[in-house]
Amino acid sequence: MPAVSKGDGMRGLAVFISDIRNCKSKEAEIKRINKELANIRSKFKGDKALDGYSKKKYVCKLLFIFLLGHDIDFGHMEAVNLLSSNKYTEKQIGYLFISVLVNSNSELIRLINNAIKNDLSSRNPTFMCLALHCIANVGSREMAEAFASEIPRILVAGDTMDSVKQSAALCLLRLYKTSPDLVLMGEWTSRVVHLLNDQHMGVVTAAISLITCLSQKNPDEFKTCVSLAVSRLSRIVSSASTDLQDYTYYFVPAPWLSCKLLRLLQCYPPPEDGAVKGRLVECLETILNKAQEPPKSKKVQHSNAKNAILFEAISLIIHYDSEPNLLVRACNQLGQFLQHRETNLRYLALESMCTLASSEFSHEAVKTHIETVINALKTERDVSVRQRAADLLYAMCDRSNAKQIVAEMLSYLETADYSIREEMVLKVAILAEKYAVDYSWYVDTILNLIRIAGDYVSEEVWYRVIQIVINRDDVQGYAAKTVFEALQAPACHENMVKVGGYILGEFGNLIAGDPRSSPLVQFNLLHSKFHLCSVPTRALLLSAYIKFINLFPETKATIQEVLRCDSQIRNSDVELQQRAVEYLKLSSIASTDVLATVLEEMPPFPERESSILAKLKKKKGPGAVSVTELEDSKRESGELNGAGERGPDPSVMAASNASTPSPSADLLGIRSAAPVSNAPASAGSLLVDVFSEAGPAASSGAVNDDGFLRFVCKNNGVLFENQLLQIGIKSEYRQNLGRMYLFYGNKTSVQFASFTTTVSCPGELQSHILGIVEPLVEGGAQIQQVLNIECLTDFSDAPLLNIKFRYGGALQNLTLKLPVTINKFFQPTEMASQDFFQRWKQLSQPQQEAQKIFKANHSMDTEVIKAKLLGLGMALLDNVDPNPENYVCAGVIQTKSQQVGCLLRLEPNAQAQMYRLTLRCSKDSVSKRLCELLAQQF
């Protein structure tokens, strides 16, 4: 950069700044600024033309005034005029003023762009750099439109100076981040990539920032950068500190460039070329070896630079997850940092080990550091380090150490920082559920969790323990005994009362034989907590009381007396009042048989993913990294899992058999689900949710297809749910015919008026609605509608369901996609291996095959994959594919006009977390459609 001559000191500017600093008050400062602004304005408007020095001085003063926080509404044109100066300092001040004060909507933008174009074409490197800096600083879309095609040419031109190339690369990066659609590399791609071979290290450092950003969005276009990056990294890593003197930082050669190269390589899978891969592995081993060498300097800058490269190298090793030797070495190196005196190093080591724990190659190596991590959890002063230690314990947990880790986390919870308690509670609950072999240990752990950190135990946690107890006969008695003992504590958390009320209401009879826990003792214990609880908990306890009347007739008089008292039947809360009145009446007029039927024990909950997992996934930070591992908890813990998304509703206890299922229930295999109530319920819990998961909220008007893809491999569930309405479906298909049961539930206490539904089908499907729904849907009621569907030929568009009704006088209009997809009409076909591959070869025309390679969106659990393929409707063929890891299926789609044979092959790659899905069908449109649908299920 040119030196500033003595005459450029701008004495007038220095005097003005000194005057401002010497002002004793804000008023004095404003007065001095206004005086200066008036002087500058008169100079700019005067007849006498100002020379470049004067313009520069006054523009500088305006810039300083603006930086003090005052508005500037003139001087822009003078700044633009400075751009045409041939003096560096004048042009510099002009560009600085424009970068700070001129917005993209300014009328002067065309003049500015012309001045920038002139400087870019001037071939003066100093002026070119100033112009590029201005473009990057403004970084607007208008700038991108004007210069995005020009800057790549400057970047790769052979005669461009190195300093200009650096500025051009970083300017292009800025424009790409703000307007990626305007920065199209096209023909420049290969030449930009080859900048990695540039002799000037500064150019390589700038270019690699640009290439990394471009590679993240367009990896295929820039994949040639991998070999060049490895080559450049190898030269740096193998060089001595004296080889790259200008770019050596405290005896570490080019640390920033090394980190950027390692980060670029993390955008791609391991190199396929054996020589390149070998060279890269050699580089990584060298970096790990250098970490073991004694430091060449005691300065903190040396260790920081060295460790920065080491951690990026470990991140790359973890990203590849294919070199067991490197993974174990990385783990051992991180283990040394766990006891380092530097807090930041301990934090980074814990964070990286969280990711290493999820690798099959390094999991055991990580576990060897369990005692060190537990000690860090107990003794670390910094809360962020303690949180990372808790995350690592969570990640390294397996069946061999689950009880130890859960015990340590529970112990830590008693003194844990408030900011991390909720997340800790979720993690303890998940680990206890996932690795529980002894169900009594699971119950003890969750109840202990509620005792220690009750305020942080979310509804999902206590819902979950109830669901699991209900689904496990062998733990129900133990759970009732344990919760009864827990309730005897003088200070008992409200969540413990909820769990106790629910479990004793269902299974109190299992411990009633002991005089110490007789029915009246149980009731009195629960009722002693009643007055201390919130309204929802009191509502649950009232439901438990009515259950007691069914379980223990001898308590009827006592409980009726409680229900009859004024504090219940005249309660100011309408929910509690309604329950008390209804339960009192029910216990008085219903016969023993009717009471036993209405208050029957809750049926097992349907199996689905734990809602605790879903909640933890929403948490940010490294602790959530290993959550994806636990998605298979449903399979690993087997019978442990019950329902998930929706917890046990207190009203369900009292109304589990309010009506009998429709005759179609047996055909659909839904006898295990809680029956649907058609009678209005109380305002607090108006519907009994019999479906497997909650539907998404959606707005009225446009077609809602949020729940559509969830039904490709299943037939029952909640299709839609918002604050007013819940729509569930149960469907069955045979040959080319289908029958769908639609359940509309009014979730409010207000009547729906003018309720109408219409179904529109594409031409390839025919539908017929059996019966018209009633135009009035009472608050809390649920009505059913049956839809018959016939498939005439293959199709891609789904039927649309339109629902209109009036709620509180306002018209509600909702359109949903009904989950009728082509795979619903599959007829499974069993085949031997020879027949399968013979048929596979027959379907060899290019248009008959559809193939897709995609990243796994869910856990690659074998049982889950099989369940989804079976849910698709095809026959899952065992011992057919030579590779036992692959899945093959066969089926025939039945339509009225024709039959379409389909073969499927799914090849999972657990190491890369990828799938290759291939479908061959006798009709090409079917192959493509099925491939699209299925690729989104795994």
- H/E stretch holding 733 reads strand 725-734
Task: Return d(Cα 2, Cα 759) in angstroms, integer.
Answer: 76
List CB contacts of 559: < 8 A, sequence separation 6 or more: 523, 545, 546, 548, 549, 587
529 has binding-site annotation: no
Q: Which two tokens stand for residue 418?
A: 């408030």
53 has binding-site annotation: yes
Relative orientation angle of helices 402-413 and 439-453, to the nearest 10 degrees: 20
Task: Return d(Cα 900, Cα 890) in angstroms, integer.
Answer: 11
15 CB neighbour count, 10 Å cutoff: 10
- H/E stretch holding 606 reads none
317-355 CB burial, b ≥16 within 10 A, e <16: bbbbbbbeebbbbbbebbbebbeeeeeebbbbbbbbbbb
Q: How far is CA 854 from the centre of its chain?
A: 18
Task: Return d(Cα 771, Cα 784) in angstroms, integer.
Answer: 10
What separation in angstroms does the CA of 465 have from each of 226, 435, 494?
50, 14, 15
Task: Return d(Cα 921, Cα 930) in angstroms, integer.
Answer: 10
Q: What is the sign, positive or negative, of the torsion defined by CA atoms of 443, 446, 452, 458?
A: negative
Task: Return d(Cα 750, Cα 757) in angstroms, integer.
Answer: 19
60 has binding-site annotation: yes
619 has binding-site annotation: no
Contact in structure between 562 and 583 (CB atoms under 8 Å): no
915 has binding-site annotation: no
The dihedral over CA atoms of 389, 391, 397, 401, expressed in degrees to the nearest 10, equals 30
Q: Which two tokens stand for residue 663?
A: 């005759």
58 has binding-site annotation: yes
β-strand 782-791 against 826-828: which pairing, if any?
unpaired
Count of residues in the chain:
938
Task: Return d(Cα 454, Cα 650) in angstroms, integer.
Answer: 19
Contact in structure between 307 and 249 (CB atoms under 8 Å): no
Q: Which two tokens stand for residue 349?
A: 């080591």
Q: What are phi and psi of 584, to 5 degrees?
A: -65, -45
Contact in structure between 244 and 254 (CB atoms under 8 Å): yes
734 has binding-site annotation: no
The three state secondary structure string of 7-55 is HHHCHHHHHHHHHHHHCCCHHHHHHHHHHHHHHHHHHHHCCCCCCHHHH
Block residue for tokens 């820039």: 222
Binding site, annotated residues: 11-12, 43, 53, 57-61
